[in-house]
Amino acid sequence: MNIPSIFGRIISLLLIWQSGFLFAQHHYPLRPQQDILHYTFAIMLNDSNNLITGRATLVYRLMGSDTLYLDLGNRQADSTGMVVQTVMYHGKAAAYSHRHNRLAIHLPAAGHADTVVINYQGIPANGLIIGESKFGKRVFFGDNYPDRARHWLPCVDHPADKATLSWVITAPQHYRIVASGTRTAMRLNPDGTATTTWQQRVPLSTKVMVLAAANFAVDTSGVANGIPVTTWVYEDNKADGFHDFATAPAILAFYDSLIGPYPFSKLAHVQSKTMYGGMENAGNIFYFEDAVNGRASIDYLIAHETVHQWFGNSATEKDWPHAWLSEGFATYLTHEYVRQREGEAVFHQRLADDRQKVLAYWQQKPLPIVNTGLVTFPQVADLWELLSANTYQKAGWALHMLRQEIGEEAFWQTIRTYYRTYRDSIAGTEDFRHIAETVSGRSLVTFFRQWFYTAGQPVLQGSWQYQNGRLVITLEQKQTPVFDFPLQIAIVSGGKQQITTLHMTRQRQTFRLESAPPEAILLDPQVNLLFQGPARLPRQQP
- Note the pLDDT tens digit of each residue in 483-527: 999 999 999 998 899 999 999 999 999 999 999 999 999 999 999
| Rounded Cα gap, residues 305 and 295, in angstroms | 19
Q: What is the pLDDT of residue 85?
A: 98
Q: What is the pLDDT of residue 15?
A: 35
> What is the pLDDT confidence band of residue 19, given thresholds at 50, 70 and 90?
very low
Q: Does 25 score more than 90 pLDDT?
A: no
Q: What is the pLDDT of residue 231?
A: 98
Read off the pLDDT of each residue in 21-50 and give the average, rounded to a whole number.
81
Q: Are 389 and 361 in contact (CB under 8 A)?
A: yes
> What is the pLDDT confidence band of residue 27, given thresholds at 50, 70 and 90?
low
Long-range contacts of 401-406 (CB under 8 A, 24+ apart): 401/447, 401/451, 401/485, 401/528, 401/529, 401/530, 402/436, 402/444, 402/447, 404/486, 404/528, 405/444, 405/447, 405/486, 406/436, 406/439, 406/440, 406/442, 406/444
For the chain, the 3-state helix, strand and coil shares in percent, each to the nearest 5, are 30, 35, 35
Nearest Cα residue to 526 out of 505, 497, 506, 483? 497
Extended beta strands in 180-277, E state: 182-188, 193-204, 211-214, 216-224, 227-234, 267-272
pLDDT digits (tens, 9 = 90+) for 397-442: 999 999 999 999 999 999 999 999 999 999 999 999 999 999 999 9
Tell whether omega for the bond before 146 is within 30 degrees of 0, i.e. cis: yes
| Rounded Cα gap, residues 189 and 170, in angstroms | 9
| Rounded Cα gap, residues 483 and 56, in angstroms | 52
Q: What is the pLDDT of residue 374?
A: 45
For the beta carbon of residue 199, count every other beta carbon within 10 angstroms.
18
pTM over 0.85, yes/no: yes
Nearest Cα residue to 336 out of 257, 263, 282? 257
Instruction: Name the CATH code of domain 3-313 (choices 1.10.287.110, 3.30.465.10, 2.60.40.1730, 3.40.50.2300).
Output: 2.60.40.1730
110: left (phi over 0), alpha (psi -120 to 50) or beta: alpha
Q: Are 287 and 9 in contact (CB under 8 A)?
A: no
Nearest Cα residue to 174 out of 208, 210, 138? 138
Q: Does 23 score more than 50 pLDDT?
A: no
| Rounded Cα gap, residues 386 and 43, in angstroms | 30
Fold classification of 316-452 (topology level) = Neutral Protease; domain 2 (1.10.390)
- DSSP state at residue 393: I
Tell whether omega for the bond before 203 is within 30 degrees of 0, i.e. cis: no
For the beta carbon of residue 527, count every other beta carbon within 10 angstroms.
19
- DSSP state at residue 321: G
Read off the pLDDT of each residue in 188-196 and give the average, rounded to a whole number.
98
Length of the chain as a residue count = 542
| Whole-number percent of the chain with pLDDT over 70 | 93
Strand partners, 131: 139
Nearest Cα residue to 310 out of 293, 332, 326, 297? 326
Q: Are 525 and 489 in contact (CB under 8 A)?
A: yes
Q: What is the pLDDT of residue 9?
A: 42
> What is the pLDDT confidence band of residue 542, given thresholds at 50, 70 and 90?
low
Alpha helices in 128-247 (DSSP H): 238-244
Q: What is the pLDDT of residue 11?
A: 34
| Rounded Cα gap, residues 476 and 478, in angstroms | 6
- Which run of H or E residues covers position 117? strand 113-123
Grouping H, G, I as helix, E, B as strand and the rest as coil, residue 238 is: helix
Burial environment of residue 2 by CB neighbours within 10 A (0 to 12, 13 to 18, 19 or more) = buried
DSSP string, 54-104: EEEEEEEEE-S-SEEEEE-PPP-TTS-EEEEEEEEETTEE--EEEETTEEE
Tell me how far CA of residue 365 lies from CA of 26, 385, 388, in angstroms.
23, 10, 10
Read off the pLDDT of each residue in 95-123 and give the average, rounded to a whole number.
95
Q: Are 107 and 34 in contact (CB under 8 A)?
A: no
Q: Are 12 and 6 in contact (CB under 8 A)?
A: yes
| Rounded Cα gap, residues 105 and 31, in angstroms | 14
Q: Are 195 and 220 in contact (CB under 8 A)?
A: no
Grouping H, G, I as helix, E, B as strand and the rest as coil, residue 109 is: coil
Q: What is the pLDDT of residue 21?
A: 33
Nearest Cα residue to 210 out of 262, 273, 255? 273
